[in-house]
């Protein structure tokens, strides 16, 4: 019993003096994200057409996906003071504190001028109520081979852009906007 007390006292003294204390806390990037908020783009014109726009929520970010019926070639995504319509230059009103102008170098119409993507409500392409970062997704027109939309977000947050092949011969143009820095 005496040995037990000696060991117990030694352990308590070690804990009390900090010999068995946990290491210092270090802050890692939010969800490991190392994205920035500067413009992202690629050169080229796509022979594909825009066919759909959809959104999704993830643990660390909100996602916008633009579906095309062929490979994505060129695009531009950047924060702007005001999103404007293709062709007219008219402002696209958006909810949020920061605004991303998303342009994919592909039309939303075929060679005969028939719409390949015609949103039911151009002001609300997807219901983003309850999303942590997105506030509104609005259509900004398709003009001379370019299709644009506006993305209203909670704040100027980091984002990434990439493309995915499929399904079938189509592709997906993806914009992820982080929930935090």
Three-state SS letters, 131-164: CCCEEEEEEEEEECCEEEEEEEECCCCCEEEEEE
Chain position carrying tokens 């057409």: 49
d(CA 34, CA 159): 9
Q: Which domain holds residue 57?
A: 35-178
Residue 153 domain flag: yes
Structural domain count, the chain:
1
As given in the structure block, the two tokens for residue 45 are 């014109």
**What is the rounded average pLDDT for all residues in the chain?**
90
pLDDT-derived band at 86 (thresholds 50, 70, 90) equals: confident
Residue 81 domain flag: yes
pLDDT of 87? 85
pLDDT per position as a tens digit, 29-46: 678 889 999 999 999 999
Residue 23 domain flag: no
pLDDT per position as a tens digit, 119-163: 999 999 999 999 999 999 999 999 999 999 999 999 999 999 999
pLDDT of 18? 53
pLDDT of 65? 98
CATH code, domain with 168: 2.60.40.3500
On whether the pTM is more than 0.85, the answer is no
Residue 10 domain flag: no
């Amino acid at each position: 019993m005496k040995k037990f007390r000696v060991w117990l006292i030694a352990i308590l003294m070690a804990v009390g003096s900090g010999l068995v204390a946990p290491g210092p806390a270090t802050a890692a990037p939010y969800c490991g994200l190392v994205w920035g908020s500067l413009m992202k783009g690629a050169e080229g014109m796509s022979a594909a057409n825009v066919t759909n726009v959809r959104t999704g929520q993830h643990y660390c970010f909100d996602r916008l996906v633009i579906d095309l019926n062929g490979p994505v070639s060129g695009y531009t995504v950047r924060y702007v003071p005001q999103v404007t319509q293709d062709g007219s230059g008219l402002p696209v009103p958006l909810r949020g504190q920061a605004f991303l102008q998303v342009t994919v170098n592909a039309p939303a119409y075929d060679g005969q001028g028939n719409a390949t993507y015609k949103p039911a409500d151009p002001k609300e392409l997807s219901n983003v109520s309850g999303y942590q970062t997105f506030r509104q997704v609005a259509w900004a027109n398709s003009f001379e081979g370019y299709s644009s939309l506006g993305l209203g977000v909670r704040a100027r947050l980091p984002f990434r852009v990439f493309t995915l092949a499929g399904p079938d011969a189509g592709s997906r143009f993806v914009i992820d906007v982080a929930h935090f820095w």
